Amino acid sequence: MANVVVVGAQWGDEGKGKIVDWLSERADVIARFQGGHNAGHTLVIGGQVFKLSLLPSGIVRKGKMAVIGNGVVLDPWSLFSEIDKLAAQGVEISPENLMIAENTPLILPLHQDLDQLREEAAGKAKIGTTGRGIGPAYEDKVGRRTIRVADLADEETLDARLDRLLAHHDALRQGLGATAVNRAELRAKLLEIAPKLLQYAQPVWKVMNDYRKSGKRILFEGAQGSLLDIDFGTYPYVTSSTTMSGMAATGTGLGPSAIGFVLGIVKAYTTRVGEGPFPTELEDADGQRLGERGREFGTVTGRKRRCGWFDAVLVRQTCAISGVNGIALTKLDVLDGFKTLKICTGYEIDGTRYDYLPTAAALQAKVTPIYEEMEGWEESTEGARSWADLPAAAIKYVRRIEELIQCPVALLSTSPERDDTILVTDPFAD
């Protein structure tokens, strides 16, 4: 059986949570490989709603191993808050079904402070982060001054790490007009939470390789979306990690050969949260309708999402970069009732046509989308579980998307409910 990587192929919020949960029934291990608690995955199971940020979506299924890999940045206080909320909903979480890579970097209160201080100082030039410390935590990882899970097991090591970390952060805080970090208070908080966190710590790279050798099926769960990738996204309005499929290998300690099938999650229209370019954004009644029907508010932040028509140029681009084998097309039902639909098939910039989004910010700002119009449908697609349940115009829309993005549809989702899914190709099949 193939191991499967799930990545968002737009700006996030594509419905990865439901798809990962649906696929996790076929998997033995579900692993998060990047991002932090800025992710927001909503699962609707039998009418019960589960909202996850750090925990892999497979945690709600019994008999599965959930893994937080080293590519994630981990806020331990947020983690245990999330565990407590799920426990109140009847989900049992213990070292029997959750493990955390011992080399996972920690998000500390000082990271959140710095995130918010910078956004306030930036004014109109702000990036639009969630303010949860994700970016500063990744900076410290690359700067070789982070505190990792394993460091909590030894006070001498922790003290050395704190000294190096605070030498950097106190200087930054002074420059931003903030007071120095209370070292004793931070140290005490870390030592207090250490026993709770360390019980989940494992050499994930080794355990995952053992799982693979024994034939267990692994599902790799990405967060955010490909257009927020630190390298290939709409920079600088991006997240601070690699959101492409290749990160599944380095973010868990498995080699690239462990990846069998890459599934890109794609919404039937386009949304974006925060600042940055958005070629097909609609600021009219159609955009308002998409937002209302799609309930387009961030799971983590509650921020209203910007909405627009489907952008085939961007999805084709992200599918190529991540090596997507098939897409899961979500929220098709949101388009029910539109008399006319539009798909962006190309861009025009200063009279020149482009079949990709240029990297230069100056060119991105001048993009004019080139649209192809298609007939909509009046019938409802909500809850459809087979092609026979779909209107002919809806099938035509899906087929045209496949042609334009040069990638087939493997799954089609027609509501937030787990079972309202049409399976075309099983990603776990060899």
Q: Provide the edge-to-edge strand list for the sheet that holds 29-32.
A: 201-202, 98-101, 65-68, 29-32, 218-221, 4-8, 261-267, 326-330, 409-413, 421-423
What is the gyration radius of the CA atoms in the chain, in angstroms?
22
Binding residue per annotation — 280?
no
Binding residue per annotation — 70?
no
Binding residue per annotation — 304?
yes
**Tokens standing for residue 346:** 């190309």
Binding residue per annotation — 221?
no
Binding residue per annotation — 413?
yes
Binding residue per annotation — 28?
no
Counting Cα atoms < 13 Å in the Cβ hemisphere of 41 gives 33
Binding residue per annotation — 41?
yes
For the chain, the first-to-last Cα distance in angstroms comes to 5
Binding residue per annotation — 42?
yes
Torsion of CA 279, 281, 283, 289, to 10 degrees: 160
Burial class (CB in 10 A: 0-12, 13-18, 19+), 142: exposed
Contact criterion met (CB below 8 Å) for 277 and 234: yes
Binding residue per annotation — 375?
no
Binding residue per annotation — 332?
yes
Binding residue per annotation — 94?
no
Binding residue per annotation — 40?
yes
Q: How far is CA 350 from CA 92, 354, 367, in A?
A: 57, 10, 8
Binding residue per annotation — 345?
no
Contact criterion met (CB below 8 Å) for 381 and 414: yes
**Tokens standing for residue 7:** 């990545």
Within 8 A by CB and 6+ apart from 14, the residues are: 8, 225, 265, 266, 267, 330
Binding residue per annotation — 191?
no
Binding residue per annotation — 224?
yes
Residue 274 is classified by DSSP as S
Binding residue per annotation — 213?
no
Distance of alpha carbon 241 from alpha carbon 243, whole angstroms: 6
Binding residue per annotation — 331?
yes
- Give the residue numbers marked as catalytic: 13, 41, 141
**Tokens standing for residue 340:** 């006319």
Binding residue per annotation — 415?
yes
**Tokens standing for residue 390:** 């779909």
Question: What is the three-class DSSP state of 362?
Answer: helix
Q: Which residues pair with 264 in a beta bridge?
A: 7, 327
Which residue type, as a one-letter code, is found at position 428?
A: F
Binding residue per annotation — 337?
no
Within 8 A by CB and 6+ apart from 272, the residues are: 10, 11, 227, 278, 281, 305, 306, 308
Binding residue per annotation — 144?
yes
Distance of alpha carbon 101 from alpha carbon 108, whole angstroms: 17
Binding residue per annotation — 222?
no
Binding residue per annotation — 201?
no
Residues forming the annotated binding site?
12-18, 38-42, 130, 144, 224, 239, 299-305, 331-333, 413-415
Binding-site residues for Mg(2+) sit at 13, 40
Question: What residues form the annotated binding site for IMP?
Answer: 13-16, 38-41, 130, 144, 224, 239, 303
Which parts are annotated binding residues for substrate?
299-305
- Write out the binding residues for GTP: 12-18, 40-42, 305, 331-333, 413-415
